[in-house]
Structure 1
Amino acid sequence: MRILRTWECKIDKEIEKCKQQLNILSGVSTNRTTVLKIINDVKKHKDKALAKYSKLYDKAFLSPKDFRVKDNEIEEAYRKISLPFVKSIQRAITNIWTYQEHIRISKVSPLKTGGIVLDTLYSPLESVGVYVPGGAASYPSTVLMNAIPARAAGVNKIIMTTPPSKDGAIPPERLVAAKEAGIREIYKVGGAQAVAALAFGTETIPKVDKIVGPGNVFVTLAKKEIFGYAGIDMLAGPSEVLIIADDHANPSFVASDLLSQAEHAPGISMLVTFSELLVEQVTSELNRQITKLKRYADTKRCLKKFGVIILAKNIDECVEISNKLAPEHLQIMTQNPRALLCNIKHAGAIFLGSYTPVALGDYIAGPSHVLPTSGTARFSSGLSVNDFLKRSSVITYSRSALKTAYNDLAEISGAEGLDAHTRSVQIRLNSRSGF
């Protein structure tokens, strides 16, 4: 990992470099051209285009009748995995559901005054598409963290798309997680073509109102391009962690958390501290622990490329640096971590104390692990049940209330030159009818 000392470099410039490193959308013009081609092809040729891209990118020879996962495939998936895994998935679902129900926006009472009633109506989306990436891992947690908040909101139709392997199969852990999460439709389609299918619909895959879930740069760009035809959760970049630690932090804990982020490959690992001794100890721990990992080579390359340790002058500067970077995951491992909380302005999720690793949030704590990356925590939040609810204003005026509002309304609409607006009020006030 690179070591930067704030008193030896222009730290603001170094932070800007880190931000650019975090940005998934930098330098992607060629990829955008490819994505637009795929989207337009799927819009025009639908299932035929999906079969073509499945063969091209996933090396899977699937016809449209093969896209949807069949019941017997899910039954077979249960036979391939252990009962303890199923029980763990069920407990994770319980935790996620409990938390999401706890934070769900509840109905507010109407605001009533002088013949005016202002209501707020919250209603769930009708349909949601969950994208689950493929690759080396199975990602059952991604299924849960996207689907359970939607179900807690009351979304009736949740479908899942995910890339198949060459033989057209989906990892059993992913299928079991989907079944346990209550997803009834699963399609073996990945990449930008899956996003396009969810946004516009094909003969096999239905159009949805919102698309959620992470993916590679092509998936992210596709979500960006289809926004407006369907809603999206966010444009997610590489996963990232920033750890603020003082000289009371356990160096083995800190090192293990830096490695768990680098294990994503790419995953961005940052330590911000004022303790020279901690830096020495963490560096030693990294060298010791990394050799024991299954993904040793990829993790080591990732840590070398995306890992950084920033030595600050004091704890206040540590917090300042964190706020400038607005990390996806922020861990605070100090003697009194909660004391720093009031000064934290920007972070997707915050993990307090030595016994709260990011892994808890990734799998079972309850809040969704779908979080803003690339510094977007400055203006956005992690996915939750409330992202699957729509808000409608309900406005009711009596005739007397309309009369009271008339002069102000006429002044403003007149200034805008919209006399039909004014007349829509006048005609009601001049009418003798009660309807």
Structure 2
Amino acid sequence: MKIFNLKEKMHEALKEALKRGLEAFEEAIEIVKTIVKDVRDKGDKAVKIYDKKFSKIANDYEIRVSRSEIDEAYSHVDRDFIEALKTAIDIVRRFHEEEKPRPWIKEIVRGVKVGVLPRPVEIVGLYIPGGRAPYPSTAIMTCIPAKVAGVSKVVACTPPGPDGKLNPYVLVALNESGVDEVYKAGGAQAIAAMAYGTESITKVDVVAGPGNIYVTAAKYLVSNVVGIDVLAGPSELLVIADESADPKLIALDLASQAEHDPLSQIALATTDLRIAKEVVEELKLIAEENLVVGEVLEKHFIVVYGDPKKLVDFANAYAPEHLQLMVSKPEEYINDIGASGILLVGVNSPTALSDYCAGPSHVLPTGKCSRFRSGVSTLTFTKLMHYVEVDELNEEIFRAAIKLAEVEGFKLHAEALRRRLRG
């Protein structure tokens, strides 16, 4: 943990903060290249070899999940879980129905109508991780945007356990979210299988969903044959707080993201050094009970303090996955914040809520990628097809196009336009 005064050490603070990224990504790519090639060339056989190796599966199993397995999963979950799923699904669906792109066509000059016609991709493949913990929430956060976008077929891969079975909570969540097919496949081999297709696993148009560094490396490697959502690394949270904020809540929110992974990145930016010191003490108390939080606190935690403008400048350069504004006057910050996967405003808008059922997807850009990428949404699964209709020849724009074609040396372009002007 390090503390920086932004008035004096903005450069040093940013240098420290911006060290983060996808740890050992180049090494992971080299390891994953072999897995991707094997799955492309050998299909199901390679998928099983790697899943048995990494998941320690002793017995043979069917890759595609049967209806009876889905039905059995319901016997292992409680009614309250299913009700919680339905609540989350409903609010996530409502958000994505609002942000879904709409078609439009408009005459922008005389005789020329243009527009955008959104079209969903045909088949989407979701990856639901299962390494450190089961993630039924990720089923909701990836499947619902795809379904709202109008995708006709949604499939999902998630890693089996040593017994060759899937986590029942994940399986029920996938079913409740409307996934059409589920496969027992994890890691880089699952990503490759969805990208290239195997005997059991459907080839898809877009792969989406978070995962470890090897999953991320596999997505990178197959991005020339399928669309991908984001190259997501460890979870990140930056909290901007002033003297009005509760140090205990700040610490709890930071710790809640730290518990995801020892590589999680957490940061506090505050106008009040007293708040910073109290948050640090609260985090130390939490770390005594949680080893993962302790590791993050030691290696991946930074505190900065300064005036509001410097905090915003730091936030935009840091470009976190999550940014919480815990200040008395958030309106003084909001318009100037331009880089965050999600902006959570107010004391009652913690990242923990957005991880489950605030509405937006929790699959968000990390590693400074929010400077140029957005989180998973209906747009992840949508193509924006441009539309042009000329129902009246507009001589001005045709002659402009002819001149540009001549400058570029495309005589046939120019003639195709002249012929229409001549009638």
What's the offset of the Cα at 1:429?
5.0
Question: In the alignment, is the contact (CA less than 8 A) between 1:131 and 1:160 conserved in 2?
Answer: yes
8 Å Cα contact 2:204/2:226 also seen in 1 = yes
1:230 aligns with 2:226: yes
Task: State the match for 2:18 in structure 1.
Answer: 19
Instruction: For residue 119 of structure 1, give the secondary structure of its aligned residue in structure 2.
Output: strand
Pick from 79, 86, 105 the counterpart of residue 109 of structure 1: 105
SS at match of 1:373: coil
**Could you tell me whether the CA contact under 8 Å between 1:131 and 1:215 is conserved in 2?**
yes
Q: Aligned runs of 1:320-359 on 2, under 5 Å?
A: 320-359=313-352
2:173 is aligned with 1:173: no
* Aligned match of 1:80: 76
Residue of 370, 377, 386 corresponding to 1:377: 370
2:295 aligned to 301, 315, 318, which one? 301
Q: TM-score when scaled to structure 2? A: 0.95
Cα 1:117–1:81 shift into 2, 3 Å: same
Structure 2 distance, partners of 1:397, 1:347, is 40
Which amino acid is the alignment partner of residue 172 of structure 1?
P
TM-score by length of 1: 0.92
Could you list the per-position Cα deviations for residues 310-330 of structure 1 after superposition, in whole angstroms to 9, with x for gaps in the alignment?
2x2322222221111011111
Alignment of 1:206-217 (within 5 A): 206-217=202-213
User: Are 1:422 and 2:409 an aligned pair?
Assistant: no
Determine whether 1:410 maps to 2:402.
Answer: yes
Contact kept in structure 2, 1:51 and 1:62, CA below 8 Å: no
Q: Which residue of 2 aligns with 1:258?
A: 254
Residue 33 of structure 2: aligned partner = 36
Query: What secondary structure does 1:36 align onto?
Result: helix
One-letter amino acid of the structure 1 residue matched with residue 333 of structure 2: L
What residue identity is the alignment partner of 1:416? E
CA offset digits 1:273-297 (Å, max 9, x no partner): 13222123222222333445xxx11
CA distance in 2, matches of 1:112, 1:291: 63
Distance 1:430 1:111, change over 3 A: closer
Letter in 1 for 2:10: I
| Aligned equivalent of 1:147 | 143
Residue in 2 that maps onto 1:4: 4
Where structure 2 has 5 or more consecutive residues not aligned to the other structure, the ranges are none
> What is the CA deviation profile of residues 85-112 of structure 1, one whole-angstrom value per residue up to 9, with x for unaligned ones?
1000000000000011011112223326
Would you say 1:122 and 2:118 are equivalent positions?
Answer: yes
Contact 2:112–2:392 at 8 Å: present in 1 too? no
User: Partner letter of residue 117 of structure 2?
Assistant: L
Q: Which runs of 5+ in 1 are unaligned?
A: none
Match of 1:360 in 2: 353
Q: 1:111 to 1:428 in 2, by over 3 A?
A: closer
C-alpha distance after superposition, 1:98-157 (max 9, x if no partner): 011011112223326433222321111111000011112110111111110111111110
For residues 68 and 18 of structure 1, the distance between their equivalents in structure 2, rounded to whole angstroms, comes to: 43
User: Secondary structure of the residue that 2:280 maps to in structure 1?
Assistant: helix
Residue identity matched to 1:193? Q
Q: Partner residue of 1:204?
A: 200
Check whether the contact 1:54–1:61 (CA below 8 A) recurs between aligned residues: no
What SS does the corresponding residue of 1:178 show, helix, strand or coil?
Answer: helix
Equivalent-residue separation in structure 1 for 2:108 and 2:268 (angstroms): 52
Quote the Cα distance in structure 2 between the aligned partners of 1:91 and 1:332. 26
Are the counterparts in 1 of residues 360 and 377 from structure 2 also a CA contact under 8 Å? yes
| Residue in 2 that maps onto 1:318 | 311
- Higher deviation after alignment, 264-273 or 85-94: 264-273
Alpha-carbon separation, structure 1, partners of 2:277 and 2:398 = 72
Q: Is this contact kept in 1: 2:320–2:340, CA < 8 A?
A: yes
Question: For the Cα contact (< 8 Å) 1:54–1:62, is it kept in 2?
Answer: no
